[in-house]
Amino acid sequence: MKIETIVNAEIELLTAIKNADVAALDKMLHDDLLFNLSDGQTITKEFDLESYRLGKMKIETLEASDQIINIIEDTAVVSVIILLKGAYDNNPIANSFRYIRVWRQFGESLKVIAGSCTQMV
């Protein structure tokens, strides 16, 4: 596993999120994904995909910075700051969040197996 592979996977993931591309997200997220939201709620892959299917998540701006990637055997841990502007369920969002995502190699494909986000102060 190479750093540039993870960088490209992150770009692909953010593009899918911004475009609410459920099919692409379905391929990139592991079926047993657990993700902790900034309010402490833990969600699953299906919950996340359903938010996009129902049009609850509307993103205007999604910009990544301060990305750190550690590769440990067949797993990569990514820490990144995301500037997010848009709305979730008609509630406005305009903040920076520190995300951590765990990617794992499964055969030829990379999948996000875990993650969390914390609102920046």
In tens, the pLDDT along 68-112 reads 999 999 999 999 999 999 999 899 999 999 999 999 999 999 999
Q: Helix H segments across 1-121? A: 3-18, 22-28, 45-53
For 100, the token pair is: 């951590």
Give the span between the Cα atoms of 2 and 25, in whole angstroms. Answer: 21
In tens, the pLDDT along 39-67 reads 999 999 999 999 999 999 899 999 999 99
User: Any idea which residue has 């960088």 for tokens?
Assistant: 7
Total Cβ atoms within 10 A of residue 9: 20
pLDDT: which is higher, 1 or 36: 36
Total-model pTM: 0.92
The whole-number pLDDT of residue 27 equals 97
Which helix (H) or strand (E) segment holds residue 72: the answer is strand 57-72
User: Any idea which residue has 């990569």 for tokens?
Assistant: 76
